[in-house]
Copies of this chain bind each other. A is one copy, B any other.
């Protein structure tokens, strides 16, 4: 039942590996869950808030496992045998969950669309393929004989020497090769993945091979959630994960949902929600992101009749670390408070964390030169996942900012119930991420670097971005007029958010904030610097803006160009303000 083995192909693998064999299956929610008619909820939104709040305490700190525990676990499990389109899930690879409670049920959060999803008939039939000797004339999977690529090689750095120039010159780094039939080759007993598997059709969850890596990575770097039945699903990037999760949780028609998010929010998230008819309400922020008391206030004071009939929000979308666009990072206490508000009001948290590993100290703060990976992990602000006693967090991870955006590869971590609904959608939305991306990242991260090498890479990246952040903050101090521009040095990510005191502008009484913002933006363009306008990120596009902001990034330009660009921005602001 667990492994799709196609008899009669050249690979001819018919055994089931330890991992695949010892998996426990989650029961599918597909058949049972009921779509709850929601027209009544729109006017009487308090139904599922009336239960007494649970009192299970949030764990003090993340329960991380160690790299040596992962090594022991893999040694015990033996070689992973997962041939073409083998089903897999996190349960096959994660540590013991004995004694942990199960996640709550979230049926009342699911959209009509999500509830209607049924498993793919052809993929279900694959369960018959576990029968020894069966020949499949069932699924239309091409024979790998017809894949016109017989091997793929990558030149990559060897940790801890991540210098691009060393690797490019050919003197450093190593070349590693992925063959077509490595996993079946007697010459390569350790090989568990190859082109014949990765380049054929797979499961919408992604491959077992990469699922193992990300499951272990979650337990190692974030700590397993404090409930038992969590799972993962690989995605074609967090853009896809965001849209799929929204369609799973937010109905634009029928019950007419509204999404809570930061007052200034990732513009793509806003552009994803709008065509679905999903409303968006921005939660006021400070330097640490959304304010729990403001989130509480919005929920407590929500009146559908004042909100065009929309029911009280039940989903929060947040970027806790290095938020886009404000660069704000929620500290651990802030996250706990937000989580408690979410519990009280039965809110699902969509935790979008592309910049999580790009956490930084204060500018000028010296990083210990000989930091170990344990120290690095201990220094990370805990993920909502690690506090998630209810199973109400859907965390989105992505390799875009920390490996390459072009991989279009990431994953979600959430309760098994939500992952199952998500997978049903992935089967018809995209069939999971590219096999090229999966097999290349598996070779790099799992086979060559391993967890330790990957963590060292993340440390390296966070140091690089810290250096860039420091250049930008120093340039701002040097070139921006402090009497009208202020900022908090970002503690994570790629973005620096500048607040401009519009009320001091000579035209403050005759021009709107948007007009002043546009005037400064155009001056910037004329002077040769492109910045992002704060207005592009306003969650409530209909409300007048509360302030004048610009977003800059320290991700892309060289240090010299960054300084020059900030100098031009400073000139533009000074001229506009007649300073």
Q: Which residues of A contact B (CB under 8 A)?
A: 6-10, 112-114, 116-118, 120-122, 125, 128-129, 131, 133-143, 145-157, 162, 164, 167-168, 173, 175, 180, 198-202, 236-237, 239-240, 242-243, 252-254, 267-268, 271-272, 274-277, 324, 400-401, 403-409, 425, 427-440, 444, 457, 461, 464, 494-495, 525, 528-532, 536, 552-558, 560-562, 564-566, 568-569
Contact = CB atoms under 8 A, between A and B. Distances in A.
A155 to B, nearest CB: 5
Contacts of A440: 149, 152, 436
A406 B436 contact: yes
A354 to B, nearest CB: 9
This chain's copy number in the assembly: 2
Nearest to A172: B150
Top 8 A-B pairs ranked by shortest CB distance? A406-B435, A8-B561, A434-B434, A8-B557, A199-B406, A137-B552, A199-B404, A135-B565
Interface centre among A138, A277, A324 (most CB of B within 10 A): A138
A139 B36 CA distance: 41
B240 A148 contact: no
A407 B137 contact: no
Nearest to A163: B145
B150 A173 contact: yes
B199 A122 contact: no
B133 A553 contact: no
A401 B142 CA distance: 7
Contact of A236 (B113, B152, B430): B430
Given A7-B557, A137-B532, A142-B494, 18 more contacts: A8-B561, A118-B274, A120-B271, A121-B271, A122-B268, A131-B525, A135-B528, A137-B556, A137-B562, A138-B532, A140-B556, A146-B464, A150-B168, A200-B405, A237-B431, A240-B429, A271-B427, A272-B428
Nearest to A269: B428
A494 B148 CA distance: 18
